[in-house]
Amino acid sequence: MRRPVHARVSGLCLPPMEFDLILAGGGLANGLIALRLAALRPELRVAIVEAGASVGGNHSWSSFVADVTPEQAAWTAPLMAHRWDRYSIRFPDHVRTLDSGYRTATSATLAAAVAAAGVTVLTDAEIVALEATQVTLADQRTLTATAVIDGRGQGAPSGQKPPLDLRAQKFLGLEVELTAGHGLDGPIIMDATVPQLDGYRFVYTLPFGPRTVLVEDTYYSDGRDLAPDVLRARVLDYIAAQGWTVARVIREETGILPIALNGDIAAFWDAAPPVAAVGLRAALFNPITGYSFPDAVRVADLIAGLPSLDAPRVYAALRHHSEKTWADRRFYRFLNRMLFDAAAPAERWRVLQRFYRLDADLVRRFYAGQSTWWDMVRTMVGRPPVPLSRALGVVLRS
């Protein structure tokens, strides 16, 4: 039975000062850990400490059904606000629909699930100091726990040369209600028929309802600068080009996701304080897409399965998992170097267009991070869609 929580949150009164686990940051990774522990180990006292007004912020998280196991799909099912059986891609010389399940969770579904699970949540609670077993808030309260997990997003690079070579997938999206139906029966994961600007550009469209869509203008870019006014105008131009008319804008979503090219994962961990970390702070994301949902699900299961949640054990388990996952994904980082270092920015779309001509099962395994050796060979054989000299340069440097 869950221990009673004698706390109100959001500053109404002081919460309990001691917990079994403190989750610093109320994002996806920590939200899923809290949900998994509430389901499997309800006797634990778990607290989420979030600087913002609510758990989850203002985000949507998508993934392919094949990215997680059937059991993981089952326990995360309540988070899925939208589901589709197929998705499409559009390139200048190739258009295709793939029969593969795709789904999207939202901040609202995550926050509702956490609230229903009875997890202690402190919102509007800025953390000014964090250690392996305690956090200090801006109001000088100190909360202690057997362990603390830091899930506050991607940390600032340390030193002159960051341990990880990361580029950016940056986007701005508008969720809009249209005056008439959009006619889509599934997402358009990549529409690269748009003008190529600031690297590899594509538009990502999720139909949330018969007249509701989320349209994101997305860039695989070398820089992290994001011009909201420019991107917002491009989204509205794209919507108009589809023959759609906006009745109202429901919300806006922006983000900059990391795309991994190379790096020393051990040095990455050594450069940070010895505190357990998850999500982007632990370099746990798909190196190709920047998607974090499948990794966050696996980490939640990992934490829930530990025999005890003392700080040294949690830190060691998460660091080992992060380092092993990084090592297992070296092939995908090599492909990213081909995309960013061998292809001219305006021609990067050709790499993705060639990839999407491959077998549908290969594509599914690729996004799930389960490529076989034969998949890797099939992905690489043939004339590269980049200048041969630059491709050889990437190979030699690798």
Q: For the chain, what is the mean pLDDT?
A: 92
8, part of any domain: no
Question: Which CATH number covers residue 190?
Answer: 3.30.70.1990
Based on the fold, state whether residues 239 and 142 are members of the same structural domain. no
Based on the fold, state whether residues 266 and 236 are members of the same structural domain. no
pLDDT surpasses 70 at 307: yes
User: According to the model, what pLDDT value does residue 128 have?
Assistant: 96
User: According to the model, what pLDDT value does residue 6 have?
Assistant: 35
Based on the fold, state whether residues 26 and 134 are members of the same structural domain. yes
User: According to the model, what pLDDT value does residue 204 have?
Assistant: 98
139, part of any domain: yes
Residue that finishes a domain, picked among 328, 361, 380: 328
pLDDT in tens, 328-346: 999 999 999 999 998 889 9
Residue that finishes a domain, picked among 218, 244, 259: 259
Total residues belonging to the chain: 398
Based on the fold, state whether residues 214 and 291 are members of the same structural domain. no
Burial call 43-72: b when 16+ CB within 10 Å, e when fewer: ebbbbbbbbeebbbbebbbbbbbbbbeeeb
Based on the fold, state whether residues 131 and 27 are members of the same structural domain. yes
Based on the fold, state whether residues 283 and 145 are members of the same structural domain. yes
The whole-number average pLDDT for the span 278-298 is 95
pLDDT surpasses 50 at 244: yes
**Signed CA dihedral, 368, 373, 376, 378: sign only:** negative
How remote is the C-alpha of 387 from its chain's centroid?
Answer: 31
How many structural domains comprise the chain?
Answer: 3
pLDDT surpasses 80 at 95: yes
Based on the fold, state whether residues 142 and 175 are members of the same structural domain. no
Based on the fold, state whether residues 124 and 221 are members of the same structural domain. no
User: According to the model, what pLDDT value does residue 397 have?
Assistant: 72
Based on the fold, state whether residues 248 and 285 are members of the same structural domain. no
Rounded to whole angstroms, the Cα distance separating 62 from 293 reads: 7
Max CA separation in the chain (angstroms): 66
pLDDT in tens, 168-192: 999 999 999 999 999 999 999 999 9
The whole-number average pLDDT for the span 319-323 is 98
User: According to the model, what pLDDT value does residue 387 have?
Assistant: 67
Residue that finishes a domain, picked among 328, 354, 382: 328
Q: Which domain holds residue 311?
A: 18-81+102-159+262-328
**Signed CA dihedral, 33, 34, 35, 39: sign only:** positive
pLDDT surpasses 60 at 392: yes
Based on the fold, state whether residues 136 and 279 are members of the same structural domain. yes
Q: Rounded to 5 degrees, what are φ and ψ at 15?
A: -80, 170
155, part of any domain: yes
250, part of any domain: yes
Based on the fold, state whether residues 193 and 253 are members of the same structural domain. yes
Based on the fold, state whether residues 347 and 215 are members of the same structural domain. no
117, part of any domain: yes
Question: Which CATH number covers residue 152?
Answer: 3.50.50.60
Least confident of 231-235, 239-243, 312-316, 383-387: 383-387
The whole-number average pLDDT for the span 20-39 is 97
